[in-house]
Each structure stands twice: as C-alpha cells, then as structure tokens.
Structure 1
Amino acid sequence: MIPITGEWFEPGSGFSWCESAYKYQVVSFIAEFANTVTNLPIIVLPLVNIALMRKYIAEVNPMLVVPHLLMTTNGLASAYYHATLNIFGQLIDELSILWLILLCLTAYLPVLRLFPPKLAPHIRFIRLTIVLVTLIVSIFAFLKPSVNAFALMIISIPSVVVIFYEGMKAGSKDASTAAWFVFVLWALACAFWCADRALCDVWLRLGTPYLHAVFHLLSSVSAYTVFVIFSWLDVERRRPQHGFRAAIRFFPRQCGVFGFPYITLTSRAAQE
C-alpha cells in the first residue's frame, strides 16, 4: 500500500505515458501537454448535457447531475495527472473513473430494461450497497496503483455491453444509432489506449507519441453519448411523472453513426 508522504505530489512519481518522452517541451509546467489539453471535452461535454437537460433535472430528477459532475471532475483530475505525472494525480484520475461508472449505474438504474421491476421498492438499499462496494474497491486502488488502469479497462467491458443493450432495446432508431456510436468510439479508444501502452517505441520512432491523447478525445465523446442515451431513457420511462419529451438529434443533421449526438427537451403541453 502506498504510504501517505510527500512523494504523492512529487513530479513523475506516477505512471507516465508515451508522450512523457517529450515532457515539459511545449510548456515548462505541463509534463504531457497533449494528454493534458485533450481533457477539455471531458470537462465541458457533460456540462453541455446538463444545460440541455436543466429543466428536467430541476423539476424531475436532480440525481442526474451527479454522474455528469463526476465526469467533469474526472476531466479535471486527468488534466492534473498528466500535467504533473504524480501518484496523487494518477489515483484521483482512476478513482474518479471508478466512481463515475458505478454512480452512473446508480443514477440510471431504475430506468434500465435490465433492472427487474420487482426490485424497485428496494432501490434505496441497492444504491447504498453500490456506494459501499465502490468505497471498498476504492481502498484496493491504493494497494497496487500499477494495475488500476487495467482493472478499469476490464470494468469498462461489461459497462459497454449494458449501454449497447439498453440503447438497442430502447425502441428508438436514434437511441440505437447512438448506442452503435458509443460502441465504435469505445472500441477505437481501447485500441489507441493499448497501442500507446504496448507500442510506445514505434510511435517514438515515428515522432507521434500522442495516441493516449486521441484516446481522451474518443472516450470523452463516447461517455458524453452515454449520457445522451440514458438521459433520453430517463425522460421516456418516467413519462407519468412529468410533462417533458426528449429526442436524440445528430449534428450534422441525421448523418448516422458519424453524427455528433445531442439531446433536445420540449414540453409535451407545448407540442399539443
């Protein structure tokens, strides 16, 4: 287990990525410049979805703010980690991802098709159990930080399976398209993550050690799209509780898997 000492904040005490071969060359106080600045979408995109969903969140389900803010927190933690490459930054980056995955499950669990309706009366207990399990797993993250990233990648596999299943079974062509969008981006992001980790010497010879930065961009859009899908599901499956209607749109206009998804929220009363 890592002792709590000043070494936590010592530059370079955490794991460094392929770009670290050029560290501090762009800006004197940022170790991995590309890996740092490519966290901007991770910070901004969930706030965009909050803005688009603000009326629904305020009037119907305030809990949806939690996973969105955790994604923004992860972006800030990741930026700090890549700027300093210290062990503290590495741990808060990894722990924020863990909490993001499990609290996203907690927030959207009641509207998932996989969630048995007979367990609905016990949702508070189930949520508390998930939080407790997350706390316990968080403690284990301090034991051997070198394996945390691999563990998170493994956890992402069943997470993407659930996301893809829910999107395909949502009963909406747009939700299905968005689910494919998530799957394709996640697969590409994993490929870039593994390539950066395993083939760094190759990228250094080519002078392009920035594959982890591409991973940031792909994974941030993928995670944002998950919020678009699940926000739509939340609105649609809570219809008896409110007067809103949600739709998934793409930019440029409806260009399939290659469009950038976003959610629109309207009042059913206004439409009628």
Structure 2
Amino acid sequence: MKSEPSNPSVCHLFASCGCDLSCSGKQPAWIKERPSLTVEVHPPVGLSGQSRSFRRAHLSPVTLLCFLPLNCLGREAEEAVGAPPCCTSKGLLDIVVDQLTPLQTGSFCSRTSSPHECLRMPSIFSYQSAEVDWCEGNFERSAVIAEYYNTISNVSFFVLSPALLYLNRQYCQKKAVPLYFVSGLLLLVGVFSMYFHMTLSYMGQLLDELSILWTLAVAYSFWYPQAYFPKCIKTRRHFFWLTGITTVISTLMSFIKPTLNAYALNCIAFHLLYLTWRELKKCNDKRVHRMAAVMVMWWALAITSWISDRWLCWLWQAINFPYFHSFWHVLIAMSLLYCCPLVIYFDVSYEMPSFKPKLEYWPSDSWPVVVPYVTLEEPHKQC
C-alpha cells in the first residue's frame, strides 16, 4: 500500500519502492533549489542494495536520493512519480548526479561517473556513510555540517590541550615527552571528532574512534605505574612493545564491527577508575582525593549524556532536545582536565623520587570553580 506524502516529486519516489515515508517540502524545482525536507525513511524488509535508515532529519532531496538503494531509482520509479519539469528533460538519475557535490559523494562519484556507478560505489569519505548516526538532526542548521552542535562542541578539546601544557609546564620541563604526546593526540581527537560529526562519514567515524584508542595507548605507555606491570614485563621498554602490539591488534579489530568501538573504548574508563581507587588507598592528601572525586563526577555526567543520546534518543527528539552528545564532548573534556593532573601526580610519585608533587588550583584556591595542576617541590616525601 503506497503512502500519500505531501511532496509528490520526492515522496512518491519512495512510495514506488515500498518505503514507509513521511516528508514535507517545497515545490517546484526541488532539485535546482534544494529545499529542506523533513524525512523519516524505513526501508522495507528484504530491500536489496546498501540502504540508509534515516531517523527524522532535515536533508536536501539530492543528499537523500544519493543514499537510496539502487533499485529505488530505476526508470520505472521515475515514470511512476510524475517528476517535475526539471526532471523530465533528462533522466532522474542524471539530474541527481549532476547536482551532487564532492562533499556529498566523495571521490568515487563525479560528474563524469555514470549514475548507477556513482550510487553503487559510495565512498568512505561520503557524507552519512558512517555506521553510526547520533540523535541530533542532520543538516538542520547548515547545509555543510551534518550535526551542528555535535561538531562545534569539540572546541572544548582545542582548549583542553594547551591548558594542560601551560598549567603543568613545570612537569613538562622535567619530563616533556609524555604530556606533549598526549596533548597533541587530544588535539587530534577534537579535530577528527569534528570532522566525523560534520560529515558523518565512515572515514570520519574510524578516525574519531582510532584517535581515542591511540591517545589511551600512549597515555598507558608513558604513565602506567611499573608496580602494576604483568610479571613477564620487566622494563618500561618492554611495556611499550606490549602496548604497541595490543594497540595495533585493536586497531585492526576495530574494522570488523565499527558500531561496537565506542562501547569498547568507554569500558577502558572502568580500568582507569580501578587504578585511581588503588592509588588513593595509598595517599592521604585530601586535595588528591577531592580532585579524584570531581573527576569522577564529570565522568559520570559525561557517560550519562553519552548513554542518554544513544539509547533515549526517542525521548529527546520528542521534547525537541537531542543534544546530549554535544554535552558529552564538553563534559569528558572537563573530566580529562582533572584526570591528567591526577595521573601526573602519581607519575611524579613513582618516577621522579627527587621531587614531591603538589596540587595547585588555577586561578586560585578561593575560586568556586578551579582547574587543578601539578607543581614540583623538593625534597620528596611519601604521600
């Protein structure tokens, strides 16, 4: 039974393929002017080809048509929909390909490609080619940025990296490599996450997830206490090799089921929390305990936002507030702003016995909201 959408030039095309569709838009010249459409597509069971299942999203019809299964854009469909005048002089597929931009189609689709070749070979750089789509509506506030708030919220990582380097500069003077490496990788996390949410491309998804994996790997390599090394590992150099091999294997495995990568990465946080708990048992400094508590608070708020956006999207869309993943970006950056000085504190205790780590707060202790950092004092006394 075909649906009766309000925009015949676009929606009847879906109905001819058996798609359950509701949409609204403007007429005429929908291809030429690229009007905004609000669409909800549920491909029918057994539909062949690489289909995209869209939640409610604002897209241009050109963008939407590019991700339909190939058999939804045959000549039979074109003849059945009663296409507007701009589509009758040329084949509907030719019109679609002619209007697509490189950003929407990636390197596999160009004006010289045949329509069927273009639609059969989506690029890993194509817009919306990722296996993950977050709750925020797509292209609602920009024709170029898929998830607007999820994209701009990554600015928090651009603030985090230089803040860590500046505030903990005394540590960097004595042991520069670890914090410079980690800060640089955190900056890349922000860049790749911004790219992913701007395009929702498959490549963006992998770069986003793998940059987090490699940041964690580097942090473990430099800062994991030797007291917790496996018995077969005798030196830090051996631990580097173990971490590197494990990370390479994890990187290759991430291509098997990319939708599970984010869950696996979030599980690593529980190991970090366990290590923090063990270290706090050996430390009597109240400032350290307070900083750890604040770090856990920010992390709890962050992971709650992440899970809410992932599993309660229907609720947030119902109240028109699907922005919790953007909160995740800001809150996890705040958690890292407390986590990194905490790790540095313990690293100084273990690896730099000639110094005593001391927690300080910027701008000062009297402020209600402060940012912690580590200074080094002599002589060293056990915490």
Q: Same fold (TM over 0.5)?
A: yes
2:211 & 2:240 partners in 1: Cα distance? 18
Q: Which residue number corresponds to residue 226 of structure 1?
A: 339
Between Structure 1 and Structure 2, the one with more helix by share is 1
| Segment drifting more, 179-188 vs 50-59 | 50-59
Structure 2: state its 5+ residue gaps.
1-106, 109-121
- Look up the SS of the partner of 1:9 in the other structure: coil
CA–CA separation in structure 1 for the residues paired with 2:195 and 2:308:
23
Structure 2 partner of 1:10: 126
5+ residue gaps, structure 1, are none
Report SS of the residue matched to 1:142: coil
2:370 aligned with 1:260, yes or no?
yes
Structure 1, 208-217 or 148-157: larger mean CA deviation: 148-157
Question: CA separation of 1:209/1:176 partners in 2, compared to 1, >3 Å: closer, same or farther?
Answer: same
Residue 156 of structure 1 corresponds to 269
The amino acid of 2:255's aligned partner reads F
From 218, 241, 247, give the equivalent of 1:103.
Answer: 218
Relative to the length of structure 1, the TM-score reads 0.84
Equivalent of 1:37 in 136, 142, 152: 152
**Which of structures 1 and 2 has the larger relative contact order (alpha carbons within 8 angstroms, sep 6+)?**
1
TM norm structure 2: 0.61
| Counterpart check, 1:139 vs 2:252 | yes
Paired AA for residue 247 in structure 1 = L
Q: What is the CA-CA distance between 1:158 and the residue it aligns to?
A: 1.7
Q: Deviations over 1:66-103 (max 9, x none)?
A: 22221121111111111111011110111111112222
Residues 168-197 of structure 1: per-residue CA shift (max 9 Å, x gap): 533321111111112222222121111111
Question: Of the two, which has the highest radius of gyration?
Answer: 2
Secondary structure of the corresponding residue to residue 8 of structure 1: coil
Identity %, equivalent residues:
27
State which of 324, 329, 342 in structure 2 corresponds to 1:216: 329
- Structure 1 partner of 2:192: 77
CA contact (8 A) 1:182 1:225 kept: yes
Matched, 1:52 2:164: no
Could you say which residue in structure 1 is the equivalent of 2:241?
A: 128
Q: Which moved more, 1:118-127 or 1:179-188?
A: 118-127
Distance, in Å, in 2 between the alignment partners of 1:169 and 1:41 is 33
Native 8 Å contact 2:233 2:239 kept in 1: no
Whether the aligned pair in 1 keeps the contact of 2:153 and 2:326 (CA below 8 Å) is yes
Offset of residue 35 of structure 1? 0.7
When the two chains are superposed, the root-mean-square deviation of aligned CA atoms in Å is 2.7
Deviation at 1:120, TM superposition (A): 8.3
| Offset at residue 260 of structure 1 (A) | 3.4
Cα distance in 2 between the residues matched to 1:108 and 1:265:
17
Distance 1:122 1:189, change over 3 A: same
